[in-house]
Amino acid sequence: MNFVTLLKFTNQGLSGIGETTLRARKFQELASAVGVNVREMLWTQGRYDGIVVMDAPDAETASAAMLKLASDGYVETETLVAFDTEAMDRMLSKSS
């Protein structure tokens, strides 16, 4: 399954901004250990401060990784299930 997580820095995250890439690398290692493949991590400007694009076998596994990330207190997260073209085609065929 594909997931996209939107990140917003907390005050704690902003005060330790110099370590953000170090924390990102540590998160990738943790995510990998629980079965999540982080495909991309991007820092953004605008409403959100970052985006994580990842694959996980199921929503529980993705949520476990995001709960760990959020529990550290540096970011708030909002995770979305993302569908590729093939999955969207399957859904459309079932809805007709």
Residues 38-55: pLDDT tens digits? 999 999 999 999 999 999
Range of the domain at 64: 2-94
Say if pTM beats, i.e. exceeds, 0.75.
yes
Q: Report how many domains make up the chain.
A: 1
Q: Which residues fall within 8 angstroms of residue 60, CB to CB, at 6 or more apart?
A: none
Instruction: Report the CATH number that the domain containing residue 24 is assigned in CATH.
Output: 3.30.70.1060
* 85: its two tokens: 């073209």
Q: How many CA atoms within 13 Å lie on the side-chain side of 54?
A: 28
* pLDDT per position as a tens digit, 56-93: 999 999 999 999 999 999 999 999 999 999 999 999 99
